[in-house]
Structure 1
């Protein structure tokens, strides 16, 4: 009864804790990157516009297409056609300006310049349309079945869609690329022609609204009428050394407050303060004791080769930790040290958290004395049986000799 009550209270606390978060964004998903597991979600699989979060894919595909990031590109006005009419965010690139691919990557991502995006995609693929095909091919390769790109800038357009979960999955892949990760985490960048220093939209937004973003490692913002305020970011809980990846879309548009960034700060702060890893098993803790057979050691133990941790909120209860061993209970000599004996499931309640390979950690020496003691009855029986057999053989021989003598007479 006590166990059932503890489980009920733990589940209630976890549900209550998640519901305690009230963010303005209509769609959200957050991954614990340490475990690669979803820890928070809100309409994560609903189709949504993603505004400039599109540029996550734009940047990744561009990096994969660029052989030399220092190669230069001569810009021309045709690259910027229609951007000003669409009121797209630009960084102010000019006709005839000569920039490197690296400049255009940073201009595309950290300051979300549509002019940099156009120059980047056209110079790499001949046209934005051709480049978008590469983006959709990459989405297909990654299994992003609900993601479709019509343009590379993220401007609202019918059919330009994704989900926050697919954006998160894409970002996780992109962050495996060293150059992308560097760009993602950058707050500023000076163009190679020294014409300007650009700043990340994350930095600009936090300064404008006086928000503390010390826990945010890197981010991509977005904004259109259809998508609302959007944000894809990574936050680091330095106290517990846990990294989270959060994607939100459709936060209410307001020029009085940064709803998307406030949502991120609220979610991060909540998880930083309420969730951490608890040790189910400590390294070197004695987990199992085995009896031995035919050895001078009465028993040998198995110690945990590493810590086994469990991610939980403050409802964690050490009493719910259970060990489930699968293997022999008695060990014999001549088993090699390091050989797997069995497995040990580390359970929290009914959930299997980890399976440890149980190996022999110390030698089980053979003892002739213990062998004899353990088998004394069998040895005595063998001796008695041997004597009986020997006695019978002698008796048979005696009978045979007697019969021979009797026949001769």
Structure 2
């Protein structure tokens, strides 16, 4: 009888030990092996920004320190917004992670352009029938905000825009962008196409870890390779740098950015800057104005970066 009890106790001990080891293994997998793709932002308790959010034109703003993901300032950061062309940040990072070869040649068809001109979508300047390298389409999507570049990438990678949108929504879910849903790859207005500036900060923080994305995002211009329609190539200019018009910040430099605008979204901006020795991102949305007015999305970013106290 004693021997039987000992065997039972031994069995329980082995089971408990095995269970404990399993828990430890899962924890190691979760916190070490799984890539650091999700960002848990923390709120900085000590104010390091001298400007009040109420002085900004944009109703939705967030400032993040990239090093430790500290939220240094926020204004309605979890309120639903329409992202307009800031959508293309997701389009491009998903495309980069899906493309096997950046030099792959992609043919833009008539269907690529269907509905884009009528919707007054921003275009990179490619033409139907043009054969373009994948890398040039990536630049075309981010720098001049070319809708045809986005559709061309989506069709090539997923067979259709809606097929690619599924990949975008899956990536949003993977990154815990819980208040985000995409309906298209371009950012053209749709009531079911929405996000928050906090979710966009999660996205940009993630995307900037990718060397190809960072290279494109921080480029002021890019000359494409010669194509069958443009033998001399096309020079793209980053829409944010064009609007900056040589303005910069006092104790640093704006490194890159992506503008966005629709009537419903207002003036939007996602930007990256280095102030002192640290990198920061500012996401803003909803500022009044349009392409012909003062660019309050730009002036807000300058004001926020200049207010950072090192």
On whether the aligned pair clears a TM of 0.5, the verdict is yes
Q: How does 1:9-408 map to 2 (within 5 A)?
A: 14=47, 17-19=50-52, 22-193=55-226, 194-207=232-245, 211-212=247-248, 215-237=253-275, 240-254=276-290, 255-271=292-308, 275-276=309-310
Structure 1 moving runs of 4+ over 6 Å? none
Does the CA-based 8 Å contact 1:18-1:40 persist in structure 2? no
Partner of 1:375: none
> 1:172-214: CA deviations, max 9, x gaps?
111111111111111111111133111111122123xx63367
Structure number, greater radius of gyration: 1
Q: 1:133 to 1:261 in 2, by over 3 A?
A: same
CA-atom RMSD, angstroms? 1.8
Report which structure shows greater RCO (CA 8 Å, sep ≥6).
2
3-state SS, counterpart of residue 215 of structure 1: strand
Distance (Å, rounded) in 1 between the aligned partners of 2:83 and 2:261 = 8
> 1:124-147: CA deviations, max 9, x gaps?
111101000000011111111110
Please list every run of 5 or more consecutive structure 1 residues that lacks an aligned counterpart in the other structure: 1-10, 277-409
3-state SS, counterpart of residue 54 of structure 1: helix
Distance (Å, rounded) in 1 between the aligned partners of 2:176 and 2:183 = 18
Q: 1:147 to 1:115 in 2, by over 3 A?
A: same
1:95 Cα deviation from its structure 2 partner: 1.5
1:19 Cα deviation from its structure 2 partner: 2.6
> 1:38-71: CA deviations, max 9, x gaps?
0000000001001011011100100111000001
Structure with bigger strand share is: 1
Q: 1:83 to 1:16 in 2, by over 3 A?
A: closer
1:226 Cα deviation from its structure 2 partner: 1.0
Please list every run of 5 or more consecutive structure 2 residues that lacks an aligned counterpart in the other structure: 1-44, 227-231
Does the CA-based 8 Å contact 1:164-1:248 persist in structure 2? yes
Does the CA-based 8 Å contact 2:121-2:188 persist in structure 1? yes
1:256 Cα deviation from its structure 2 partner: 2.9
Does the CA-based 8 Å contact 2:53-2:75 persist in structure 1? no
Does the CA-based 8 Å contact 2:61-2:74 persist in structure 1? yes
Q: 1:115 to 1:20 in 2, by over 3 A?
A: closer
Distance (Å, rounded) in 1 between the aligned partners of 2:110 and 2:247 = 37
Does the CA-based 8 Å contact 1:21-1:267 persist in structure 2? no
Does the CA-based 8 Å contact 1:124-1:131 persist in structure 2? yes
Distance (Å, rounded) in 1 between the aligned partners of 2:50 and 2:100 = 48
